[in-house]
Amino acid sequence: MNYIKGNPIYRSSLYIFLFAFGIVLATGPARAEGNRSAQSADPVKQTWFSHQIDEMTPPGSGELEEYQPENSDAETGAIAVCNPDIPNMVGYWPLDDQDTPVNNKLTFVNYMGTSNGTCTIPGCPTRSTGKVNGAYTFLPYDPYDLDPDLPDKIDVAKFPALEWANADSFSFETWVKISASTNCSGNKVFIGERGGGVMSIWLGCAGGANHARFSVRDNTGVGTISVEGTTALNDGDWHHVVGVRDAAADKLHIYVDGSLEKSVNALFTAGFKNSAGLGIGYFNTGFPPFYYLHGTLDEVAVYQRALTLANVKAHYNGGDGKSYCSPGPVVTNPGNRTNKENDVVSLQIQANDQEDGTLNFSAPGLPPTLGIGKLSGLISGQLTCSASTGSPYSVTVTAKNITTGKSGSAAFSWTVTDNPACDAFSGVFLPITIR
């Protein structure tokens, strides 16, 4: 039955249409290289129905069965493989995965340890060079091809973190590249989720001016609020696009290439309950059209928070992009140390973190009478005349970001040698200074 699993009437109607209007095929759009057809610039041909995505309505009286993602019963991951550099990330699909199928499927790992993305060949995107490591290129379904490949898409089974209350903020983020030879006619979706046929959230490219758009409708199904950027995305270059719902401010924001392009007022009265998971490269509306992307995606992420301009700029990284995984604080190892008894010690520990926050230092295992400044990271004090008896000391310096809860450590050995002068020394040791 091919990809329109819940809609045989629709597929049959298509072939009747093609037979009756063969002239359309003879004068149809030009083909792309290979066996995939180029997109038509005609919005009527692309969208199938006269309504656009912002005005879509759910199936009314059962004429169309809702299409369910093929991985709706897929196993979900259990272990996060990423320490996100921004808290409250709920999903991160870097799309660096290899294009090696297992049982005719490709898997796209969610680095946050929840639902992985999947697709079924031949309806899978093609691995390509990304902004950060790998990426995947999506080609749309062409209804004017008598023997079409399936459209490219990735499905992510729903999981609890994709559902939000009215008071929750959320953000969608991705890098996207769209060729200058195509456009966003009829709207094209990068990331989208829906619920019960009425709730919808999507980040994509709007038809007409080909600008980025972030569109949100809550579970009441009453009214869609959208914010649209000002940069044309179909120029063949990579663009960093972020859509934000700021619940505290009742605003929607759209960011493109590290800049806030527009904000609109957005007051919602209900929550956002997801019933169909997440679509990458398309929007699972439950019925055609599915707003398939013709372009390349990289670094797809979803957050339960409103990303700030500083967050967006950090990920844009001057146009170079970056992984959204952070190793946490990095402590520079000072190397193994050697001192004599009675030495006065002053050793500054160096640490840095990509994320904002205050670092707290600790250093278990120090020789007696030495201590480390909790905020300064300065190890100081005077060694006792008996410190050599416990030598060498195994020291671990840890810097913890109290905002993110992440920490980094460095281990080294501290040797204290005998000092003959200590045999006749009876002076007063300098106090430990803890800052």
What does the pLDDT look like over 50-77, one tens digit per residue?
234 443 333 332 222 333 333 333 333 3
CA angle, corner 302, sides to 65 and 236, nearest 5? Answer: 90
Token code pair at residue 250: 């009742």
Q: Identify the pLDDT of residue 434.
A: 58
DSSP string across 366-405:
PPTT-EE-TTT-EEEEE--TTGGGGPSEEEEEEEEETTT-
Whole-angstrom Cα distance, residue 403 to residue 360? 10
Which candidate, 186, 181, 128, places its Cα nearest to that of 152? Answer: 128
Contacting residues for 111 by C-beta, under 8 A, at least 6 apart: 80, 81, 82, 92, 93, 94, 325
Residue 284 neighbours by CB distance under 10 Å: 24
Q: Identify the pLDDT of residue 366.
A: 97
Find out whether 124 and 106 touch, Cβ atoms under 8 Å: yes
Token code pair at residue 194: 């829906």
Q: Identify the pLDDT of residue 435.
A: 58
What does the pLDDT look like over 165-184, one tens digit per residue?
999 999 999 999 999 999 99
For 125-130, the CB contacts below 8 A with 24+ separation are 125/152, 125/153, 125/154, 125/281, 125/297, 126/99, 126/152, 127/97, 127/98, 127/99, 128/296, 130/95, 130/96, 130/175, 130/296, 130/298, 130/299
Whole-angstrom Cα distance, residue 202 to residue 217? 9
Token code pair at residue 343: 């030495």
Q: Identify the pLDDT of residue 150.
A: 75
Which candidate, 162, 231, 169, 196, places its Cα nearest to that of 66? Answer: 196
Radius of gyration of the chain (CA): 28
Query: Which residue ranges in the chain fall short of pLDDT 70?
Result: 1-80, 141-149, 196-197, 424-435
Size (the chain), residues: 435
Q: Identify the pLDDT of residue 152.
A: 94
Find out whether 307 and 242 touch, Cβ atoms under 8 Å: yes
Contacting residues for 251 by C-beta, under 8 A, at least 6 apart: 244, 245, 263, 264, 265, 266
Whole-angstrom Cα distance, residue 368 to residue 84? 38
